[in-house]
């Protein structure tokens, strides 16, 4: 089948759900195209991490390595977390003649306009929702939710359009009046065969970068901006960590933004009493060796998709307390710290660094097993595809 995925923001070097899902759908035997916004109008806080230079070449490299073609459509602007596409998007999608259209993020401007044009598009849709309560901070959110309930939700329910929740939350029922019984829950995930512990890689990486076999290595990979807690991380690492019988070293992967906030993050990190190895932003598939060389991973603020990859590599995690992280750290998979509590964040790192080997091994084992058993994205991707194929047959049965 020919699947067309439409998404506001896509970067070929990222490890977002759409990158991995589309790659696996090609491996399943389908033709897959991504339609996304041009990067020129995407704000710096989204593009600075991977950069937008030579994006055409990067898109072609992505197609060559995955079989997934990326087509970019011009934007008017990117406002309040949503891309405003210029006219012609619907015509472009129709010209691609998709068997199924996957609309990522059902509450974007693009998603709502496509839903209003559902009958005219004459193609089966599948939607997904990524939204969490903690990410919904716009001051006009209550007006927007009322608008959505009145003018968008009825279209989804009337046409019985599948909506996939990728996080286990009641957000769509609570705020959009879409009953959970009308949705499907299919989690994020990762390729657990690519992201897995590797003792040889661990040893060679550590030797190459002057890290001892017994050194305790703490890893952070991600943006160093305000949303991801860049300054909180830097401030937390200023004072020396004292472990009982081993050295502690930090690996930080990612480039700070070029604004005043990013300059301050870099200044603080440069004054640290701890040993920090810094690396520039890496592509999704280049990150594995860093995870395999580390002992734990930390997430000073919002927990990104890389949580799946680090746990798949058997890394216990230090996570900020929120509605989903408590479960992610439960059953000895990680340690939770209170929001913006620097002392608890540092204590969690030291707790892991001083933990007896047997107990620490339990955390490692639980981390890996959790992802293998629940978030292996190969079978999860097949479930996404099953939903799309099922909707294709239902749509054409009802439109005959």
pLDDT tens-digit map of 174-204:
999 999 999 999 987 888 988 999 999 999 9
Same domain, 109 and 220: no
Euclidean distance between CA atoms 146 and 152, whole angstroms: 10
Can you name the residues that pair with 298 across neighbouring β-strands? 318
Euclidean distance between CA atoms 148 and 172, whole angstroms: 10
In a domain, 276, yes or no: yes
Q: Kindly report the number of other CB atoms within 10 A of residue 135's CB atom.
A: 14
Same domain, 178 and 267: no
Angle of helix 109-116 versus helix 141-151 axis, rounded to 10: 20
In a domain, 194, yes or no: no
Give the pLDDT confidence score for residue 12 in this predicted structure.
Answer: 92
Same domain, 39 and 91: yes
Euclidean distance between CA atoms 115 and 253, whole angstroms: 39
- The domain total for the chain is 2
Give the pLDDT confidence score for residue 304 in this predicted structure.
Answer: 67
In a domain, 124, yes or no: yes
Can you name the residues that pair with 104 across neighbouring β-strands? 128
Give the pLDDT confidence score for residue 285 in this predicted structure.
Answer: 81
Give the chain's residues under pLDDT 70. Answer: 45, 48-49, 132-138, 304, 399-400
3 state SS of 190: strand
Same domain, 324 and 243: yes
Euclidean distance between CA atoms 168 and 387, whole angstroms: 18
**Burial class of residue 231 in the structure, from the number of CB atoms within 10 Å of its CB (0-12 exposed, 13-18 middle, 19+ buried):** buried
In the chain the beta strands, taken as DSSP E runs, fall at 2-7, 31-37, 69-73, 75-79, 82-85, 100-104, 125-129, 163-165, 183-185, 216-221, 248-253, 275-279, 296-299, 317-320, 334-337
Q: Kindly report the number of other CB atoms within 10 A of residue 297's CB atom.
A: 27
Same domain, 38 and 161: yes
Euclidean distance between CA atoms 223 and 50, whole angstroms: 10
User: Residue 15 has which token pair?
Assistant: 């490890």
Span 356-400, pLDDT tens digits = 999 999 999 999 999 999 889 989 999 999 999 999 999 998 765
In a domain, 342, yes or no: yes
Same domain, 23 and 138: yes
Give the pLDDT confidence score for residue 133 in this predicted structure.
Answer: 56
User: Residue 231 has which token pair?
Assistant: 């300054």
**Burial class of residue 78 in the structure, from the number of CB atoms within 10 Å of its CB (0-12 exposed, 13-18 middle, 19+ buried):** buried
In a domain, 228, yes or no: yes
In a domain, 120, yes or no: yes
Tell me which residue of 38, 60, 65, 226 sits closest to 137, measured CA to CA.
Answer: 226
In a domain, 298, yes or no: yes
Range of the domain at 240: 199-374
User: Residue 360 has which token pair?
Assistant: 């620490």
Q: What is the CATH number of the domain that holds 45?
A: 3.40.50.2000
Q: What is the 8-class DSSP label of residue 250?
A: E
Same domain, 260 and 384: no
In a domain, 39, yes or no: yes
Euclidean distance between CA atoms 319 and 298, whole angstroms: 6
Q: Kindly report the number of other CB atoms within 10 A of residue 111's CB atom.
A: 22
Q: Do 293 and 202 touch, CB atoms closer than 8 A?
A: yes
Q: Do 115 and 57 touch, CB atoms closer than 8 A?
A: no
CA dihedral (291, 292, 297, 303) positive or negative: positive
Q: Do 230 and 263 touch, CB atoms closer than 8 A?
A: no
Same domain, 109 and 78: yes
Instruction: Report strand pairing: 31-37 vs 69-73.
Output: parallel
pTM for the model: 0.77
How many residues are given for the chain? Answer: 400
Same domain, 25 and 155: yes
């Amino acid at each position: 089948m020919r699947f067309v995925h439409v998404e506001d923001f896509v970067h070929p070097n990222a490890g977002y759900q759409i990158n991995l899902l589309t790659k696996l759908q090609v491996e399943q035997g389908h033709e897959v195209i991504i339609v996304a916004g041009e990067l020129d109008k995407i704000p710096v806080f989204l593009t600075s991490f991977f950069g937008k230079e030579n994006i055409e070449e990067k898109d072609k490299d992505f197609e060559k390595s995955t079989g997934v073609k990326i087509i970019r459509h011009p934007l008017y602007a990117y406002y309040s977390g949503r891309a405003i596409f210029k006219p012609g998007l619907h015509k472009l999608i129709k010209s691609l003649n998709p068997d199924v259209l996957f609309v990522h993020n059902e509450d974007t401007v693009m998603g709502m306009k496509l839903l209003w044009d559902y009958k005219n598009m004459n193609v089966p849709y599948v939607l997904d929702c990524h939204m969490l309560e903690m990410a919904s901070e716009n001051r006009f959110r209550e007006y927007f939710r009322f608008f959505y309930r009145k003018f968008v939700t009825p279209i989804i329910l009337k046409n019985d359009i599948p909506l996939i929740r990728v996080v286990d939350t009641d957000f769509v029922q609570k705020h959009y009046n879409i009953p959970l019984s009308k949705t499907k829950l299919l989690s994020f995930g990762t390729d657990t065969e690519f992201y897995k512990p590797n003792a040889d890689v661990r040893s060679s990486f550590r030797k190459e970068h002057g890290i001892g076999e017994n050194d305790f290595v703490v890893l952070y990979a991600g943006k160093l901006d305000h949303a991801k807690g860049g300054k909180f991380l830097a401030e937390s690492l200023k004072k020396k960590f004292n472990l009982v019988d081993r050295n502690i070293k930090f690996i930080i992967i990612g480039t700070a933004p070029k604004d005043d906030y990013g300059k301050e993050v870099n200044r603080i990190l440069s004054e640290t009493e701890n040993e920090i190895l810094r690396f520039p932003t890496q592509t999704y598939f280049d990150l594995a060796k860093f995870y395999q060389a580390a002992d734990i991973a930390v997430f000073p603020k919002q927990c990104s998709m890389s949580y799946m990859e680090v746990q798949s590599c058997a890394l216990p995690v230090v996570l900020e307390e929120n509605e989903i992280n408590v479960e992610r750290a439960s059953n000895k998979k990680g340690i939770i710290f209170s929001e913006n509590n620097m002392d608890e964040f540092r204590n969690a790192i030291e707790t892991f660094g001083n933990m007896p080997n047997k107990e620490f091994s339990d955390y490692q084992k639980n981390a890996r097993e959790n992802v293998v058993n629940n978030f292996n994205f190969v079978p999860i991707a097949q479930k996404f595809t099953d939903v799309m194929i099922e909707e294709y047959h239902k749509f054409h049965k009802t439109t005959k």
